[in-house]
Amino acid sequence: SVVIQECYVQNTAREYAKLYAAEAEPLEGFGEVPEIIPIFLIHRPANNIPYATVEEELVGEFVKYSVKDGKEVNFLRRDSEAGQKCCTFQHWVYEKTNGNLLVTDLQGVGMKLTDVGIATLAKGYKGFKGNCSFSFIEQFRALHQCNEYCEMLGLKSLRTTHQKQRKAPSTKSKNLPNSSVVKKMVPKKAREHRDFISSEH
């Protein structure tokens, strides 16, 4: 059932968040670490819907810190401490699982998160299959921008490897029509490209 899957995903993500907290909390200056709240499955045999989930109610402004669709840029990710720490959490999990698993849909109130998803590569990871498309992993790799918390944890930048792959085809092809294709891509991640171009010249 979807409800059981939802519980399984959130509680798996919660275990990763606990490991992340154990590594991040002792670091000087890191501060509070996002936590994924537990979600409990209850069985109600007499009810039409036999399974339901119960979790702590989060009071306050509910914010999406990471989004499924990379085209939707959420500035609260970059501008808030919780948002940055969520992005670092994603990067940390991605690195810990060798790029096989990513916690997605990080959302909640302040540092308390709920309703998260997990994307895995098609084959899954250690017997676990996520509930989100593995294209989220590709998207994360392309769009993630490291912040000070990534640096504190000593995470490897994803941008350098990604750009090398991107650059290779364009240097080989000399025919001009391709340049228009490159231009079309610029608005999508204008910011990233701008940094990239200025560092080139």
Q: How far apart are CA 186 and CA 191, in angstroms?
A: 9
154 Cα distance to chain centroid: 17
Query: CA-CA distance, 7 to 18, in Å (whole number)?
Result: 16
Catalytic residue (one of 69, 79, 105, 115)? 105
Q: What residues contact 21, with CB distance under 8 A and at least 6 apart?
A: 33, 35
Cα end-to-end distance, the chain, whole Å: 54
Distance CA 24, CA 151 (A): 11
Looking at residue 74, its amino acid is N
Q: What is the DSSP letter of 9?
A: H
In the sheet where 107-109 sits, what is the strand order? Answer: 35-36, 112-114, 107-109, 63-64
Would you call 105 a catalytic residue per the annotation?
yes
Which residues participate in catalysis according to the annotation? 105
